[in-house]
Chain A
Amino acid sequence: MMSLVTERPDDVAGGANTRGSRKKARPWSSTLPLRTALPMLVPLGVALVLFVVYPLVRLLWDSVTTGNGPGNYADALASGAVRRAIGVTLLDSVLVMLLAVVGGTALAWAARTSRHKWLKGLIWASVLLPFWMGVVVKNYAFALLLAREGPINSALLDLGLIRQPLELMYTPIAVVLGMTYTMLPYAFLAVFPSVGTVNLDLLNASRGMGASQRGTFARVVLPLIRPGIIAGAAIVFAMAIGFYVTPVLLGGAQTPFIASVISDDIFRFFDYPRAAATSVILLVIALATLAVAIKAVGLRAIRGGLG
């Protein structure tokens, strides 16, 4: 590796010389000069301004200038539907966050420590396959599994564990399960970098000095992977509160997420001002979550978690 890198400048210099350049070749560097870097950043900057900054500013502006002005927020919060949707969204998202982070950490730890190659492969495959599957496919699979006459209820009935089929579809249980399945890969991928850096000799040392298995996990492993866990939790929560398709398909019309109420306002009632205000509320909750997480573990951990 080293030799390759040190040889490079000579190659470049040689190439330049044969083309008759009398300029002295600068040593190769991974840092681009400003006049090259800036133009390369322009498309990104334009895209950012056009598709992120402008809509956000416009949304904020509309939410306080159209309709009843700042009263849009009062309108939104005066609605029982909006309040309940916020409650359902936050509660379900917290549950999804807990399940996904616990599951993701367990899987990441198993993938890190297992001595069996096939097991590691299986874990990675089972995490990444749903990650790549379309959201409708995943939800449809859950709708089939959780149906009143679906495989889960049939199996439980056949085993004699229940007498009546369980009410699974169109309940918060279905929404939390479906969303957890979708968010598990994000939690796994956020936790895995932290888990990967844990020196496994520390475990032996801890055990050697008399710590129990549980104590080792709680006092040695957990502090080491804390940044990954917090990053994972923040990412999962911030994404979860914006969910739309899963709550509609698995939860039905009577347990709405905020996104469903916003969609009502836009497409059914044409009430853009209230939709804008509700969207800003959703956005503020998401940003506040990320801010708390960044404060707790630093931006680097969150960035690391995002890969």
Chain B
Amino acid sequence: MFSVKKGAAFAAVALSVIPLATACSGGDTSASGEDTTLVVASWGAYFTKATRQFLADPFTKETGIKVQIVDAPGKYAANLQAQKQANNVQWDLLDSTSAPDAYQMAHDGLIEKLPDDLKAEFTSELGDEAVEDFGFTFSNLGYVIACNTDKVTTCPDSQQAYFDTANPARRQMIATLPLLNLSLAEMASGVPAEQIPTHEIDLDRAFAKLKELKPQIKVWWESGDQMEQAFRNGEADMGIAYSGRAFSLAENGTPIKVQWKAGVYNPGFWNVVSGAPHTKAAFQFMQWIAKHPEAQAKWAEMTKYSVPNPKAFDYMDDTFKKQLADWPDNRKQLTTLNYDWYVKNSQEVNRRWQEFLRG
């Protein structure tokens, strides 16, 4: 091929050799875009589909920046660690990193800090609580107490009541997430919910509390599917559940009551990968997502996860929006976890958790 110099010649051949021409103009030209392909890591299945259909495709249509989505459910940190070690970072963005992972990756320098102006913009668009130094929340949900009303007459409305061991015939379930369970145990030991976001967990006390409850835990679920299945076939009568999944169970005929009270807000985060090939375009995509509440609403309706832009509720069905973790009435009943403490202590916490669960 011939080489193209910027200037008059550029215009003449621009139409036929757009990809080559922009490549020659060098560097990260994402603002104008045409040849940039962002690589986004996502969670697969309907999740990837929703991101593709309601976020990536409209964004490409508007900006010309292409988006490639790779599925790496639950393996963001491991993959990024490997890419970084091989000095070959291939991903630009992470779609809905789970909160513990996001804080850990920020601490490890695997994800990019938001530029100040962008952070300010996100905060004014989405609200203070939705924005962290390393990204904004997305695919949010609540960890809530859910009960099968055929089997349980009074659904516990506090963690004290959920951790009650007076009735050993109870069939309960809980997720296999150390920070969540230890925090719930602390609430059961009397730590007020509003202190949990900054509370330093007393590990001995929390594990002792969990140990008391262990005989009543019939299922330690590792995926939302497993949690739903355990409700459907009677393996458990009450459990700590994903709010969205609990509602969809109820819609599909299992009589489920959701207790927002004493629940935990569980955000995901959009992050830009540190050292990403197209940092500028990646932030541009995040900006697009933040500013398109209607796209967020459609995304939410497909995935049943909550989204950060308050204006998104205007585009949602009335029943549906009241099932979301970000709906103000629900959000105010949920506490958040102390991720900063977890990042500092994760080594010890995870090991003790493994010994507790598997040992």
Does A270 count as interface, using CB distance less than 8 angstroms? yes
Residues of A within 8 A of B176 (CB): 253
Does B165 count as interface, using CB distance less than 8 angstroms? no
**Which of chain A's residues has its CB closest to B171's CB?**
A148
Does A269 count as interface, using CB distance less than 8 angstroms? yes
How many of A's residues come within 8 Å of B, CB to CB?
28
Task: Find out whether the CB atom of A84 lies under 8 angstroms from the CB atom of B358.
Answer: yes
- Cα–Cα distance between A253 and B234 once the two chains are bound (Å): 18
Which of A81, A85, A252, A269 contacts B219, CB < 8 Å?
A: A252
- Cα–Cα distance between A148 and B359 once the two chains are bound (Å): 25
Does A17 count as interface, using CB distance less than 8 angstroms? no
Does A260 count as interface, using CB distance less than 8 angstroms? yes
Question: Could you tell me the distance in whole angstroms from the C-beta of A120 to the nearest C-beta in chain B?
Answer: 37
Which of A147, A170, A252 contacts B234, CB < 8 Å?
A: A147
- Cα–Cα distance between A129 and B229 once the two chains are bound (Å): 26
Task: Find out whether the CB atom of A79 lies under 8 angstroms from the CB atom of B355.
Answer: yes
Residues of A within 8 A of B74 (CB): 267
- Say which size band chain B's interface belongs to: 20 to 34
Task: Find out whether the CB atom of B358 lies under 8 angstroms from the CB atom of A81.
Answer: yes
Chain A 159-188, CB-CB to B under 8 Å as 1, else 0, gives 000000100011000000000000000000
Does B25 count as interface, using CB distance less than 8 angstroms? no
Q: Which of A169, A252, A268 has the most CB atoms of chain B within a 10 A radius of its CB?
A: A252
Which of A83, A144, A268 contacts B350, CB < 8 Å?
A: A268
Question: Could you tell me the distance in whole angstroms from the C-beta of B342 to the nearest C-beta in chain A?
Answer: 13
Residues of A within 8 A of B78 (CB): 266-267, 270
Do A150 and B233 form a contact, CB below 8 Å, given A267-B75, A268-B350? yes
Do A80 and B235 form a contact, CB below 8 Å, given A252-B220, A254-B220? no
- Cα–Cα distance between A261 and B218 once the two chains are bound (Å): 20
**Which of chain A's residues has its CB closest to B346's CB?**
A269
- Cα–Cα distance between A160 and B136 once the two chains are bound (Å): 57
Residues of B within 8 A of A84 (CB): 358-359
Residues of B within 8 A of A270 (CB): 77-78, 81
- Cα–Cα distance between A257 and B77 once the two chains are bound (Å): 24
**Which of chain B's residues has its CB closest to A269's CB?**
B350
Does B354 count as interface, using CB distance less than 8 angstroms? yes
Does B70 count as interface, using CB distance less than 8 angstroms? no
> Which A residues fall within an 8 A CB radius of B?
79-81, 83-85, 143-144, 147-150, 165, 169-170, 248, 252-254, 256, 260-261, 264, 266-270
27 contacts between A and B (CB under 8 A): A79-B355, A79-B359, A80-B359, A84-B358, A85-B358, A147-B233, A147-B234, A147-B235, A149-B234, A150-B233, A165-B234, A169-B235, A170-B219, A170-B235, A252-B220, A253-B176, A254-B220, A254-B358, A261-B358, A264-B354, A264-B358, A266-B78, A267-B75, A267-B78, A268-B350, A269-B347, A270-B78
Closest 10 CB pairs of A and B: A80-B359, A147-B233, A81-B358, A253-B220, A149-B234, A148-B234, A81-B359, A256-B358, A149-B233, A81-B354
Given A81-B355, A256-B358, list of 10 further CB < 8 A pairs?
A: A79-B355, A80-B355, A81-B357, A81-B358, A84-B358, A84-B359, A147-B233, A170-B219, A253-B176, A261-B354
